[in-house]
Amino acid sequence: MVEVNINLGPRLQDSPSLELKQSLTEEAERLYKLIYGLGNEKKKLYWTYTVDGKMAKVAADKQKLTKNKSKVVFTLKQY
């Protein structure tokens, strides 16, 4: 299981700098590559994820986080 705690509160202000936006984008891209690379259709291994303990209903790239500190948990399962 990969557990990610996202806390943007201290870093994300009303007007975040371009550098901060770039840094957060790079973090997200690294996390995506890690998660995407571990799935395996031949072995029927797939990722699911929850946000604040609830199963997500949309793809991870479409999920909106509504709290300053959301707990996102990705789980790799065999189906």
Q: What is the distance between the alpha carbons of residues 62 and 43, in angstroms, rounded to a whole number?
A: 26
- Whole-structure pTM value: 0.55
Greater model confidence, 11 or 70: 70
Greater model confidence, 75 or 24: 75
Which pLDDT value is given to residue 9? Answer: 60
State pLDDT tens for residues 46-61. Answer: 888 888 899 999 988 7
42 band by pLDDT with thresholds 50, 70 and 90: confident
Please give the single-letter amino acid code of residue 12: L
Which pLDDT value is given to residue 25? Answer: 78
Q: To which residue do tokens 């029927």 refer?
A: 44
